[in-house]
Amino acid sequence: MIKDNLNNILETLPPELKLVAVSKFHPLEAILEAYDAGQRLFGESRPQELSKKVAALQESHPEILENIEWHFIGHLQTNKLKFVLPYAHLVQSVDSTHLLDAINAWGKSAGKKINVLLEMHVAAEESKQGFAEEEILDILFRAGSYSHINFCGLMGMATFTDDEECIRADFARISDYFAYLKDLFPELESFKELSIGMSSDYLIALEYDATIVRVGTSIFGERQY
């Protein structure tokens, strides 16, 4: 089933677009099935779950672990960095300057540059995390002060609604701001990724210059634990 789901989704995507299979809440067996079908990018949102899956793969399939690219897509607390930063190729969900400062400090102590996306808040729900536009602008003007961070782009979530026009408006706002920032900061050579779109709306996101989509339920089915 997972292989068929992946193939069906990949048929709808341009070849250059990155598909992150959101494996959070799904067992290791589901990741292995997706891997066997050719998937290499996986998204996790709980720090301990990510570190446990990495440890389990290190023990059972170390050769597979070398080929997997982990993306962290959930809210990250500063006291959980040790469960994420040693493994994540990209932290998509940086949503506060406090977290950004902590990631930079961790990277400095580890001698490692951390790839991040800044999460932009546009959705109607106040419960969703993220920066306002002016906060992102301020951070990028000070990008040089973050010696151990690579700013790779923006991440965002549309309002949870069946109103397609509302979803399009959210994606358009993120996409337009992303284009504006790329023009404003040409020196940020790694600022290339726009992560928008999930299972319910990734096809719409393709129309707004997404470079990464995060798809879970449409690949793995409903969460298993």
**CATH assignment at residue 198:** 3.20.20.10
Q: Which domain holds residue 105?
A: 2-9+18-219
Which pLDDT band, with edges at 50, 70 and 90, does 222 fall under? confident
Mean pLDDT score across all residues of the chain: 95
What whole-number distance in Å separates Cα of residue 68 and Cα of residue 141?
33
**In a domain? residue 194:** yes
**In a domain? residue 149:** yes
**In a domain? residue 129:** yes
Which pLDDT band, with edges at 50, 70 and 90, does 129 fall under? confident
**In a domain? residue 153:** yes
**In a domain? residue 177:** yes
Counting the structural domains of the chain, the total is 1
**In a domain? residue 124:** yes
Contact 171, 114 (CB under 8 A): no
- Tell me: pLDDT of 224 over 60: no
**In a domain? residue 225:** no
Q: What is the pLDDT averaged over residues 185-198? A: 97
Least-confidence region, from 17-26, 75-84, 117-126, 133-142: 117-126
**In a domain? residue 224:** no
Burial 26-36 (b: 16+ CB within 10 A, else e): beeebbebbbe
Percent with pLDDT over 90 in the chain: 94
What whole-number distance in Å separates Cα of residue 135 and Cα of residue 99?
14
